[in-house]
Amino acid sequence: MDWIEFVSAHGPDHFASFEFRAEDDARIRELLRGLELPGFRRKEIVGQPMTSEFRAPLQPELFDFYVDAHHHDALVANMLGTARQNIWIYTVMSVGAGQLWIEHGFGDPDAACVEAETRALDALTRSPDLALGKWSLEWGGQGYDHGVGREGSGAAALREALKLGGAT
């Protein structure tokens, strides 16, 4: 089951947050960089805040910014401050400060990206070197109601919710 199934009846934006220990940050980035994540292109962002419609900005030294291939260049330019385009439909994963944030702007994400997100969550929750803390699957958007489709704590609870199977 994909995480989006918990929030797709609401919106327009969908967000998933996964909190790890801050000291796990480099391991999370390394693990995800080693996976095939179809539909996404990655850019390492240095010296910029990690932002989302759903969370206060974080200030990691660097973070990995995965963007659906169609919107990658425009969203990276926005992130770096070299352009200002209002992009409503997008799929991103931000990995930094011990966090993984997944965000779908105006829903309807690319199927390859959703498959890649599931692959990433499966790998992260199987890793014996990482400790997943709180997680939440949410919907909302600027000017829209906000809600939580599912939340929990720990890798086992997330694997059970997403029916990923296998031991952690």
pLDDT, tens digit (0-9, with 9 covering 90-100), for 38-48: 999 999 999 99
Phi, psi of 156 (to 5 degrees): -60, -40
Could you tell me the pTM of the whole model? 0.92
Can you give the pLDDT at residue 96? 95
Which band of pLDDT confidence, cut at 50, 70 and 90, is reported for residue 33? very high
pLDDT at 65: 94
Q: Cβ(138)–Cβ(147) under 8 Å?
A: yes
d(CA 151, CA 18): 10
Average pLDDT in the chain: 92
Burial class (CB in 10 A: 0-12, 13-18, 19+), 9: exposed
Looking at residue 5, its amino acid is E
Q: What is the pLDDT of residues 87-146, one digit of tens each?
A: 888 999 999 999 999 999 987 788 999 999 999 999 999 999 999 999 999 999 888 899
| pLDDT over threshold 60, residue 168 | no
Q: What are the structural domain ranges in the chain?
A: 3-162
The pLDDT value recorded for residue 87 is 84
Q: Are 48 and 80 in contact (CB under 8 A)?
A: yes
Crossing angle for the helix pair 111-126 and 25-33, nearest 10 degrees? Answer: 130
Q: How confident is the model at residue 167 (pLDDT cuts 50, 70, 90)?
A: low
